[in-house]
Amino acid sequence: MVTSIQISEKLQRELVKRKLFDKETYEDVIWDLIENARELSEETKREIDEARKEIKKGRVHTLADVKKELGL
């Protein structure tokens, strides 16, 4: 099923900026954005999990430690 949607001119300008090539459709641009958001979410989840493991292992630096190391 194909449908049409209304978008503002501002959003249309933004979608045009995100096109990788002139003949790319808005649907392709939107799918790319959705895919990137999913990847980012999964990547972020992995990074959070890794950070939690590092904290549990005691591999942390307080702000005071960092300031001291940098001589601030």
Q: Alpha helices of 7-62 — where are they, by DSSP H?
A: 9-18, 26-56
CB atoms closer than 10 angstroms to residue 26: 15
Q: How confident is the model at residue 30 (pLDDT cuts 50, 70, 90)?
A: very high
State residue 42's pLDDT score. 87
Q: What is the mean pLDDT of residues 25-54?
A: 91
CB 24 within 8 A of CB 9: no
Dist. CA 70–CA 15, nearest whole Å: 43
Q: How confident is the model at residue 41 (pLDDT cuts 50, 70, 90)?
A: confident
